[in-house]
Each structure stands twice: as structure tokens, then as C-alpha cells.
Structure 1
Amino acid sequence: MANFKRILIGKPLHNEEMIREKLPKWKAMSIFSSDPLSSIGYGPEQIVLILTVPWAITYGFAWYVAVAIVALMGIVTLSYAQVAKVNPGGGGSYSVAKKNFGELAALTAAASLFIDYTLTVAVSISSGTDAIVSAFPTMTDHRMSLNLFVLFGVLMLINLRGVRESSNTFVFPTYAFVFGILALVASGVFHIISGDTLVIPQASLEKQPLNWTVLYLVLRAFASGCSSMTGIEAISNGVPMFKPPEVKNAQLTTYWMSSLLVVMFAGITLLIMHNHLLPVENVTMLSQLAEATFGRSFMYYYIQFATMLVLYLAANTAYNGLPPLLSLLARDKYMPRYLAARGDRLTFNNGIILLSVIAAVFIVLYHGNTEHLISLYALGVFLSFTISQAGMVVHWHREKDSGWVLRAFLNSLGAIVTGIVVLIIMVAKFLYGAWLILIAIPLLIYIFRLINSHYEDMRLQLALPPDDLITPSGGRNIVIVPVAGVTRVVASTLKYAKELSEQIVAVFVATDKETAKKVEEKWKNWNPGVRLIVLYSPHRSILGPLFKFIEKVESKKGPNDYITILVPEFETKKWWHRLLHNQTGLLLRNLLVFRRNIVVTVVPYQLEK
């Protein structure tokens, strides 16, 4: 098993190798930017998809929605560059909220990001499968199997191998996708400029007068299009993963990422409107656009494969954003402590596994339907955006260093705009899944506090008073050894028992009188110097009579006496041998540890073959 693990995730890394795991800017782009950049594969499409409902003429509003989203990208980018500067230890929205607002705001940001990152994985994988199904429709029936294979067999496994290896794996697909999209935009714009057709044909500008129904559709389109902005905050969560100077490199990477995102988002939206593309079942609009621009040539298939790969690997943004956040929550005692520990490859492997499992649940529940998953998307991340920007305003007001007024104004603008987006998403997507997120966030906050309460209770109970001196109690140690017969395992356990106490009793539970007689006779002939008590169980229960015997001993022991249960247990040489034996010893051990004032010890006996 150990060798198989080494093959899968590689040899363990020394703590001093952490510096080698830090990323240069060009590699960090592939790790942290794959989510927002890959959203070009579905973000612009979602805008048009909602604005082309059969009963409404609202296509002409697509450009207004796209311009609003581009402006929002700029505001959020500048704001999060400041978050990276103020929080060089990472944590993003959670750290900002914790420092400036306190527990509730911090946990709200953490719950929002927890949900959004898991949805990032689910949406990225599902949309990646959509891209390949568009090119090869025969794979439609294998959609779910492909989703789960990519999740567990590719993404989880690569991330468990470490940051450096995952960045090496994801560099080529990310930059290949960026090249393909920029080539598509450049070629499309060249055709527009060199041709004699309108930049945006009249059919793509038609729209009804704005009324409440049309406004609702426009707001829904805006809310779905904002899915292209998820992941912008990931760099601020992972500042410590950059090579020195960490903050400067993180800020520059944020600017590069957003510049590419704006160019690709605006370019693809323009080309969709220029070609007046409409939804086609099982065919993405990016596929339609690539075919309209290049035909079914090499470049078409290049873009489809690159889109599939980058959408799959876009989930890596979440794999590099959520586990570090979970580690911070674990250190603050809001999540299980083991989430703060790094694994063999210096990754937060428990967080990686947890993220994979929850993403799989979303994929299975929603059958890998990208449109339905996106309905849950974006609310969490924009809520964390708003909390983060508001927290930064408080930070600048408290610090009041040089230029703080301009910085505070920028973050105030960010907080107001993203807060409005939160309200829009809540209204526009409420019936399409946002209500579920509004329930999930308070539920997660409750769970965080419940975990924290448990750790606090445990700390108070385990704290050692300064005047607590260790003195002998003067009591006896009564040792009880449950036995299943006369074997070397029992002999080894009794030998250890005699080192602990002279008060030893062996207990055998017989399910029939003939077996009881045989064991008593063997014990008498063996004569280990320990009294054997045979309990008869006509109903064939082993644990029941044994527990009654232990309770009887408990009732007679003195106030300073101890009871020690020694459980004899043989350990098989190969793991699969264990499956051939009953687990009575394991069950007995797990049940006895919950009894007060009883010490339970397993005495192992190693089998050699």
C-alpha cells in the first residue's frame, strides 16, 4: 500500500523544500487564473442564453450587460490587489473580515468562499465535458463518468502530488487556451474590419422597451455573466505561494490575469453578437463561434480541446484557494484541526480530498448540468467580495497612512458595487437556486461555531490546574483479559498483564456448553497462573455478557482502584488477510473507550506469514 501511494503522489518532501514549491508569476498565472480565464467558455454564453428566451426580444441588451461586467472586473481587480498587500499571509476575504469586523463577518466570508470554491470545481468540470461533447456528440451518454474520472483521477491526484507538479501540469493547457481564444478574437475582429458587414447586425440589437419583465431578464443575464469573475480573489488567498517578493508578484499577476480576462470576455461577447449566435442543444456558443470563424479545421478542434482542458483544470483555482483557507479556519478552531496539517508533499491534502468529495456531490445531484450549477454560482463569491472591500475601508480609515483616502474610496466603490451585485443575484437567481445558498451559508456558520465550541470545551476540560500534583492513589489495578481460547495471542497478553498487576482475571464467553468445557480443560492443563471465568451466552452474544461482568467488577471496586481491559489482538501480515477474520476485538475496543474510569489497551501479536 505504501509503495502504491508513493507511485500515485510521489516521495515525501522535507520541510526545507517548501521554498522550492513557491511559484514564479508565469506559473502562478496557470494555477490561480485558470478559473476566471476559462469562464470565457461559459460566461458570455450565459448572458445570451438568458436574453434569448423564445417569448422575449432582449438580445440587444447583451452588450450593456457585458460592459457592466467589464467595468465591475476593473473595480474588483484594483480592490483585490490592495487585499493582497494588506494580507501577505493569505486568507483574502476571511482574513480582512476577521481583522476589521470580527467573527460573524469572517465566518460569513469563509462560508461564502467554501460554497463558491466547491461550485467552481463542479461547474468547471461539467462545462469542460460540455466542450468535448459539443465536438463529439457520441460521448453524451458518458458525461457523468467523464466528470467523476476527471475530478478524482486527474485533478485530485495531481494536486495531492504538490504545488510544483500541479503548476507544471497546468501551464501548457492554460496558455494554450489563452492563445486559442486570442487567435479566435483576433481572427474574428480582422474579418469584421476587412468585411463589409455591420459590426453588430440589426438582429443582435433588437430589444423590447425596458419594463419589469425585461429588467428581470437583464438582471438574470448580468447575474449569470458575473460567473466570469469568480476566481479573481484566489490570488489574494494564496499570496504565500508566490516567490519573493510575494506581495508584488501577487499584485502583478492579478493585473495580468484581469487584463487578459477583459480582452477575451469583451472580444468573445462582441463576436457572439456579430454572428448573432443562438443557443443550440449540446453545442456551446464558443463551439459555434469557432466553427463560424475557422470552419471544422485544425483551429476549431484545437480550441475545443484547449477549452475542455482549461475548463477541467480551472477547478485548480479552487484547489489552491480553498485548502489554505480551510487551514486558516482550522488554526482558528473553526474546522477540524487535521485540515491545517500539510501532507507528504507539503500540500493540505485533507482539504484537497474534502473539496473533491463535496464537488462530486454537487455534480451527482445536478447530473453535471452546467446551467443548473451556474444558477447556484457567484452569490457566495460576490458576498465575500463585498465583505472584503468593506473591511478594507475600515482598515484604511484606521491606518490613515499616505494616500489612504484614495484607497478607501476605491474599496468603498468596490463594496457598494459588489453589494449591489449581491442583491441583484439574490433577486434574479432566487428561484433558480440562490435560495439554497442563502440557507447553506448560515448553516455553515453554525457548523463553524459548533466546531469552535467543541474545541473550546475540550481546552477547558484538558487544561491542567497549576496546583494539580501527581500522587499515588494507593488503589489496585484490576486487569481483565477477554480471551477467545488458548492461543499464543492470549499468552502474550497475559505475560504483559502480569507486568501491570497481580489482580488479573481472564474471561471467556461461550455460546455452547461443550465449547465452554473444552476451553476450561485446556486452560487447566496450560495453567498460566491466571484465573479463568467462563460466561455462558445461550443467545450467542459475546459483548453483552462481557459488559455485564465488567459492570459487576466496577460495582465492587474501591474509589481509587483502576480497571484495565487488555484486548488480545493478532495483526495479519497482509492487509487483505484482515478481511478473513471477525472484528470482535476492534468492536470491543471502540465500545469500551466510552466507559468512564476504564483503561482499554490493545496488546498486538504479529503474525509472520
Structure 2
Amino acid sequence: MPGSLKRLLIGRPLHNNEIIKEKLPKWKALSIFSSDAISSIGYGPEQVVLILAVPWALAYGYTWLVAAAILLTLGFVTLSYAQVAQANPGGGGSYSVARNNLSELAALTAAAALFIDYSLTVAVSISSGTDAIISAFPMLLGHRLELNLFVLFGILMLINLRGVRESSNAFVFPTYAFIFGILALIAYGIFRMVTGHEVVIPQQSLARQPLDWAVLYLALRAFASGCSSMTGIEAISNGVPMFKEPEVRNAKITTYWMSTILAVMFAGITLLILHYHIMPAENVTVVSQVAELTFGRSFMYYYIQVTTMFVLYLAANTAYNGLPPLLSILARDKYMPRYLAARGDRLTFHNGIILLSIVAAVLIILYHGNTEHLISLYALGVFLSFTIAQCGMVVHWRKEKVPGWTVRAFLNGLGAAVTGIVVLVIMVAKFFYGAWLILVAIPSLIYIFKRIYNHYEDMREQLALPLDESITIKPAEGSNIIIVPVAGVTRVVANTLTYAKKLSDRIVAVYVATDEEAAKKIRGKWEKWNPGVRLIVLYSPHRAIIAPLFKFIDRVEKKKNPEDYITILIPEFETKKWWHRLLHNQTGWLLRTLLILRKNIVVTVVPYRLEK
């Protein structure tokens, strides 16, 4: 990307000292970290009703029981993750807790679960946002995928590449506008409910078939899908270092704020769903139906739909502030590529942001932006990481034995039991609806983490220089054999041969001819130029360039002395403008790459810069 375009899209580079300005106050952090959890109001209650309303609404009356169970679970998870933030001020959430208190396998399982969770957060949030706007504007139905990908790459990725402060400024208003809209909807809906003549909860919303195995299975599936509303609760514990001082205290307070708002909104929307006896409708979300029945097709209806769309889109930002820092910690621990630990121009973990965007795009394309199918994959990884974190915290408090540690350990132990049960419920209830994919994906990611770690360990073992031993650099005994592949007689070749003569007297130029006429022509030009370097012409009747050159290098390798070096100097011209490069083949780049990958020789590109 040319520098000017990059500056326009990303902004000016930030100095290391400016990182303090990127720290977030609580009110901004709430919009950044809670958008995922709070936005789940757009699809969480809907998923409960979607399952219980079919077949023939036989289990609809269990909606309030399932909602109560979800709210109770939310309370345990909130208390537990406030303690995770306190115990791990460096961030990393479940992964850091497991790494410090459990085992490598537990830590990598948590990391894999979080990787999947955050990737699905982006895919689900964007897909749900598109569903919300399509509910209000059905004419956009045929452009679902294009809308999803535009929001992903054209808005979310770019804003996050610009830095934490920029993204928080962009996302504060939509998040608080959504909170205001939903709370206004709930308040007005309850006011009408209380002052109107209709029954608060109609009989058809409470009617239910007696509990049997089939109904229990539906209730468990509804609970498992509704638990997707808790995704994002762990995000604050992953990003404690992003808060202003005192980081831990501010992170805990923000966690409580977030969960309280989420609980009120979830309970309120569920109450209105039961009051209106909302049934699922194709291409119309449950929140859209509630808003229309409460406000009619008024300004407030469209306000709620638009703010729901924005906050669902921006909910993906929670993942952008949670996963890249986690990937940086994994990279520091050698379980992910090291470049994921590097901060970019804007002090963001830019490589992690780009990786997350690509993975989310793949999920959106594979599942055609279908929210229901994506959510089927969602909650298992989330609650698995929850459970690992709680177990790790129990071990943490037992080791630390701070005042009141028994109460803290009990809370985390109870949280582990609750979330562990949820994991089992999700595995059973949603196994054939996508949970089995997560059970395959997590071991696959753990395997990848271990392979990356083993590679870095192997590299460290082979490259480490033991400074306690006497190691001297021996003077050169052999010579340097210079091979210069040429494509003709040009200033680029002349520049390269001039440099070659400063390195060695053993220089040979090599030209690969695809026909006899080309071979005769290059020999004639070379003899007329007479640069003082021998030219070897290789004939390639099949028009291959790389293979004959490699065979020649193999012959030189076999004949050289053990102490000799072989250096390949690749002449290459650099175009004045970046797009000029697209007009030329990349043989030099390809040759350099293949030589480095396949030969234990020195490869150097000798550039010649064009002036126009």
C-alpha cells in the first residue's frame, strides 16, 4: 500500500510515549468492551423463542424459566470474571489464568476456545446487524453478503487499525444510543402493559406441555442458544491493560456495569416477548416485532432498528479489542507467529486485527451470513473458556491464600460447576447443530499451537550461540563463487557485475536461452560488451528458466571445495511507481524465494532504481 493512501486510511504513526493516550476511561471502555454482550439482546432472546416456539409452540411456556436460568448463570459468570481481572492485571483472561494455575493443555484449550469465540463474535455480530436492517428495509435482502463484507473490511477493520482511541470515539455514540433505545422500549412497553387493559402475560405465553424428554431437550437447546447472550463477558478480563489507572479497579467496575445493563435488557425484552406472545417470523427479528407492537412504525421503531444494526455491527469490535492482545500473549509464549506480538504504526496489534478479519470473513462466506447457523457454533467455546478460567481461579486462591480466599474460591468453584454444566448441556443439545465442529476445531488449534511452539524451540536450539564457550570466527580459507543470472545486456546487469567484482574474482554470468536465436544474440552482445566476466548460456527447449539454473548451481556445488561459498547475485530494477511493478514479471523475486527455500547458499538482490 502506498504511503499516502496508508496514512489516509490508518493515520499518522504514533510514538511509543503516546500509548498512555490510548488508555480508556470506564465510560469509553464500556462502549468498547460491552458492545458484544449488550448487543446480544438483538439475537439472544430470539434464539430462545425460536427453539421453544416449534413445533406447535408446545414448549413456549418454558421461555421464562429458560430466561431465569440464563440470568442466574450470568450472575455467576460476572462475579467470576471480576476476580479474573483482579488476578491477571496483565490481561489474557482464561488463557493467562490456566497458564499460571493449571496446565499447558488447559491454557491452550482456553486459547483455542477464545480464538473461536472471538472469530464467531465478529461473524455473528455482523450477520445479526444485517438481519436487523433487512427487517426494516426488506429491499436489501439480496445484498446480505456484500453488506457483511463491506462492514467487516471497510469499517471495522480500518477503524481498529487506526487505534484504540479512534475506535472508542467512533463507537461510543452508537452503543449508548442503542442502550437508550432498548431501555426506552422496555420502559414504555411495561408502562403500556401496566396501564392497559390486556393481560400482562397472556395464557398462551404460559401454556406448556408437561415436561418429558422431548420438551426437556428443547428447553436445553433454548438455554444453550440463549447463553450466547453472555459472549463478551470475558472481554474486559482480556483487556485490563487498556484501562486507565487504576486498571484493575476500573475493569471490575466496568464488568459490573456491563452485566447489570445486560441483565435488565434481557429480562425486559423477554417480558415483552411473553406479553405480546411473539412468534418467530421469516426475515423479521423478534426485537423488530416487539418494537413495532410497542411503538408502531413510528420514529422510535426505526430508531431502534437502526441503532440495533449499528451496535450489532460494532459488537464485533469487542473481539477486535480482545483477540489481538490475546494473540500477542500467545506469540510472546511462542504458540503463535511472533509478528502477532508486534504493535503497528498506531500502537495496535495490527497483524492480529487483519488475521481476525480474514477468519471472520471465511466464516461469513461459508455460512452465507446465516445467524442461526453461526450461533449453533457459538456458545460451546465461550463456556468452555469460562469453565477453565473458574477452575484456574480456584487454584489461584488456594495458592495465594489472601484474606477471604475461601469465599472467593467458593464463588469460582460454584461458577466452574455452573458453566461446566452449561458446557455439557450445549454439547448434548447442539451436538448435531454444529457443536461437533467446535469439538474438532479446538484440538486442531491446540495441535497448531504446539507445532508452532516446537518450531520456535527447534529454531532456538539450532541458532542459540553459547556465550560461555570459546567460539571464534575463523578467517576465510576458501573463496566466494559468484553466479549472476542475467536476462540480457542492460545497465541493471552492469551494476550487478560491478558489485560482484568487489566481492570476488570468481564470477560467472548465466543466461537461460529458450531458442538458438536468443542464445546466438546474447553471445554476440556479450562479446561486443566484453565486461571481463565469463558468460555461460544454458539452452532450455521447454522454455523453463528456473530448472536449468538450479541444475547449473547443483553442478557448481558438487565441484566446489568445502570451504568455498556460493553467492547468487540477482540483478533487479526497482520501478519509480508502485503500479509499474504490476507491468513486469516477478522472476527475480521467485528465483530469490526458491533459492532461499531450497539451497544453503547466499542470495542477494542488487537493485537498480529507475528514475522515471
The TM-score with structure 2 as length reference comes to 0.98
Deviation of 1:197 (Å): 2.6
Within the candidate set 493, 511, 516, 2:514 is matched to: 511
Could you tell me how far apart the structure 1 residues matched to 2:454 and 2:7 are? 38
1:327-338 map, 5 Å: 327-338=328-339
Deviation of 1:572 (Å): 1.1
Deviates more, 1:209-218 or 1:579-588: 579-588
1:176-215 map, 5 Å: 176-215=177-216
The 8 Å contact of residues 565 and 600 in structure 1, kept in 2 or not, is answered as: yes
Could you tell me how far apart the structure 2 residues matched to 1:379 and 1:9 are? 35
Q: Which residue of 1 aligns with 2:591?
A: 588
Q: Which residue of 2 aligns with 1:556?
A: 559
Could you tell me how far apart the structure 1 residues matched to 2:155 and 2:540 are? 53
The 8 Å contact of residues 69 and 226 in structure 1, kept in 2 or not, is answered as: yes
SS in 2 for 1:48: helix
Structure 1 position 435 matched with structure 2 position 431: no
Within the candidate set 529, 532, 543, 2:532 is matched to: 529
The 8 Å contact of residues 132 and 304 in structure 1, kept in 2 or not, is answered as: yes
Deviation of 1:441 (Å): 0.4
Within the candidate set 475, 486, 490, 1:487 is matched to: 490
1:248-287 map, 5 Å: 248-287=249-288
SS in 1 for 2:9: helix
Q: Which residue of 2 aligns with 1:419?
A: 420
- Paired-residue identity, %: 77
1:282-293 map, 5 Å: 282-293=283-294
Q: Which residue of 1 aligns with 2:504?
A: 501
Question: 2:255 is matched by which residue type in structure 1?
Answer: T
Q: Which residue of 1 aligns with 2:568?
A: 565
Q: How many residues align?
A: 609
Deviation of 1:484 (Å): 1.3
Q: Which residue of 2 aligns with 1:391?
A: 392
Give structure 1 regions of 4+ aligned residues with deviation exceeding 3 angstroms. none
SS in 2 for 1:417: helix
Could you tell me how far apart the structure 1 residues matched to 2:347 and 2:142 are? 38
The TM-score with structure 1 as length reference comes to 0.99
Question: 2:394 is matched by which residue type in structure 1?
Answer: V
Deviates more, 1:478-487 or 1:286-295: 478-487
Deviations 1:156-200 (A, max 9, x none): 111011000100000000000000000011001111221233221
Question: 1:568 is matched by which residue type in structure 2?
Answer: P
Could you tell me how far apart the structure 2 residues matched to 1:514 and 1:182 are? 82
SS in 1 for 2:89: coil
Deviation of 1:573 (Å): 1.0
Deviation of 1:480 (Å): 1.0
1:18-97 map, 5 Å: 18-97=19-98
Deviates more, 1:104-113 or 1:525-534: 525-534
Structure 2, unpaired ranges of 5+: none
Could you tell me how far apart the structure 1 residues matched to 2:433 and 2:598 are? 49
CA RMSD of aligned residues (A): 1.0
Question: 1:412 is matched by which residue type in structure 2?
Answer: G
Could you tell me how far apart the structure 2 residues matched to 1:255 and 1:590 are? 53
Deviation of 1:517 (Å): 2.1
Could you tell me how far apart the structure 2 residues matched to 1:87 and 1:188 are? 41
Deviation of 1:597 (Å): 3.5
SS in 1 for 2:336: coil
SS in 2 for 1:480: strand
Deviations 1:47-75 (A, max 9, x none): 11100103451111000011111111111
Deviations 1:221-240 (A, max 9, x none): 00011010000010000000
SS in 2 for 1:594: helix
Question: 1:395 is matched by which residue type in structure 2?
Answer: H
Question: 1:96 is matched by which residue type in structure 2?
Answer: V
Could you tell me how far apart the structure 1 residues matched to 2:16 and 2:318 are? 24
SS in 2 for 1:478: strand
Could you tell me how far apart the structure 1 residues matched to 2:538 and 2:368 are? 55
Could you tell me how far apart the structure 1 residues matched to 2:560 and 2:220 are? 74
Deviates more, 1:24-33 or 1:518-527: 518-527
Could you tell me how far apart the structure 1 residues matched to 2:207 and 2:362 are? 41
Could you tell me how far apart the structure 1 residues matched to 2:390 and 2:558 are? 63
Q: Which residue of 2 aligns with 1:3?
A: 4
Deviation of 1:272 (Å): 0.4
1:61-460 map, 5 Å: 61-460=62-461
Deviations 1:445-486 (A, max 9, x none): 000001001110111011123332111240011111111111
Deviation of 1:41 (Å): 0.8
Deviations 1:376-423 (A, max 9, x none): 111101000000001000010111110001100100110000000000
The 8 Å contact of residues 562 and 597 in structure 1, kept in 2 or not, is answered as: no
The 8 Å contact of residues 24 and 242 in structure 1, kept in 2 or not, is answered as: yes
Deviation of 1:268 (Å): 0.4
Question: 1:519 is matched by which residue type in structure 2?
Answer: I
Could you tell me how far apart the structure 1 residues matched to 2:58 and 2:541 are? 80
Q: Which residue of 1 aligns with 2:609?
A: 606
The 8 Å contact of residues 97 and 387 in structure 1, kept in 2 or not, is answered as: yes
Could you tell me how far apart the structure 1 residues matched to 2:317 and 2:453 are? 29
The 8 Å contact of residues 478 and 501 in structure 1, kept in 2 or not, is answered as: yes
The 8 Å contact of residues 481 and 506 in structure 1, kept in 2 or not, is answered as: yes
Q: 1:597 to 1:45 in 2, by over 3 A?
A: closer
Structure 1 position 545 matched with structure 2 position 548: yes
Could you tell me how far apart the structure 2 residues matched to 1:199 and 1:122 are? 36
Deviations 1:505-564 (A, max 9, x none): 111222222222222222222221111122222332222222222111111111101111
Deviates more, 1:453-462 or 1:521-530: 521-530
Could you tell me how far apart the structure 1 residues matched to 2:418 and 2:598 are? 57
Deviation of 1:14 (Å): 0.5
Could you tell me how far apart the structure 2 residues matched to 1:559 and 1:240 are? 54
Could you tell me how far apart the structure 1 residues matched to 2:110 and 2:51 are? 29
SS in 2 for 1:345: coil
The 8 Å contact of residues 56 and 208 in structure 1, kept in 2 or not, is answered as: no
Deviations 1:410-446 (A, max 9, x none): 0011000000000000001001000000000000000
The 8 Å contact of residues 180 and 303 in structure 1, kept in 2 or not, is answered as: yes
Deviations 1:248-296 (A, max 9, x none): 0000000111111111000100010011111111111111110111111
Question: 1:511 is matched by which residue type in structure 2?
Answer: T
Could you tell me how far apart the structure 2 residues matched to 1:286 and 1:504 are? 76
Could you tell me how far apart the structure 2 residues matched to 1:541 and 1:378 are? 53
Deviates more, 1:189-198 or 1:551-560: 189-198
Deviations 1:339-370 (A, max 9, x none): 11111111111111111111111111111111
Deviations 1:138-167 (A, max 9, x none): 111111111111111111111011000100
Could you tell me how far apart the structure 1 residues matched to 2:277 and 2:57 are? 16
SS in 1 for 2:369: coil
Could you tell me how far apart the structure 2 residues matched to 1:378 and 1:64 are? 19
SS in 1 for 2:597: coil
Deviations 1:574-600 (A, max 9, x none): 122222222221221111113443111
